[in-house]
Amino acid sequence: SDHDCSFSSGRESGYYSVQQQSPCKEYASSECPSLSPLLSDDIKVYNDHSLPMFKLPLAKRLGPAGSAKNAQIDVLIPDFESTAKFLIKSVNETKYVTAIFEATDGGIDVLIQDVLSEFQLWFEENGLLGIACEVHWSVPEKRRNRLVETRMKEGIHQALRKNNRKVMDLKNDKSRNLPLMLAESSTQENTFRQTTLNCFQGVYRRFYDTLLPYQHKETVEWHEPFWSLSTHKLPEPNPQQFLLGKCPNKLENTSLVAVNLIALQVTKKL
């Protein structure tokens, strides 16, 4: 409306690694908690496949139950060790972004386009690979519209689906797809009615457990005053922390959406 006053603010942190510096330097590739290889003396590297794999010989029973007649077969399992090594050397930038959108005389509907444009800017136009997002929002009860909230969530889902295809298309230096397990993500959300401020608040979070260890630790530390990702417990809506001036009472009449993103730049073509 003519009386609406919406504005945005934000903070981004980026770190560019020097040559041969490892963003996952606290882990050796074989010790990386999310990509632990299954190694033994009996496993042989098998590279004649579209994926980096290991070949594991197993016994297959040929006869009926109780028969001792067996034959050796090969079972392929992903080569997690080479995947970890590739990611360690290929991630050369970690980007943290916090963008805050407020409307002093309107609901979330006046902020949706700005919110979705933020995802497009970092995940599409800048070609970064998103590995986590956390969106906090608050709207005064008198301006709440459930259809608008659903529309915002659907728009975020669409942006994340596009990003997920990029994760699935990750290739190593031999142009082979990395294991699809990299695309496994965790999604969490929570909402509640803030009776003190007479507003409705929510939080939506998605992250890739297997890709988080490849962040640069420096970027994580630099951005902590603005926002940090905690995956150890379910998220709780906390849009108050993103208010300019830190005045919670402002949310009685102000709609707010805070977009927090973590993205990686991978040197190899996605």
Residue 36 CA to residue 23 CA, distance in Å, equals 17
Residue 132 CA to residue 208 CA, distance in Å, equals 6
- Please check whether residue 121 is in contact with residue 261, taking contact to mean a CB–CB distance below 8 angstroms: no
* Amino acid identity at 216: H
Q: Lay out the sheet containing 199-207: strands in order across.
A: 6-16, 91-103, 255-266, 129-140, 199-207, 186-194
Cβ contacts of 69 within 8 Å, gap of 6 or more: 61, 62, 63
Cβ contacts of 113 within 8 Å, gap of 6 or more: none
Neighbour count for residue 28 (Cβ, 10 Å): 13
Q: Return per-residue pLDDT of the chain as tens, 270 residues.
A: 333 444 555 555 554 433 223 333 332 333 333 443 333 333 333 344 444 444 444 444 445 555 555 555 554 455 667 777 778 888 888 999 999 999 988 999 999 999 999 999 998 888 899 999 999 999 999 999 999 999 999 999 999 999 988 888 777 666 767 766 777 889 999 999 999 999 999 999 999 988 898 898 899 999 998 999 998 889 999 999 998 776 889 999 999 999 999 999 887 544
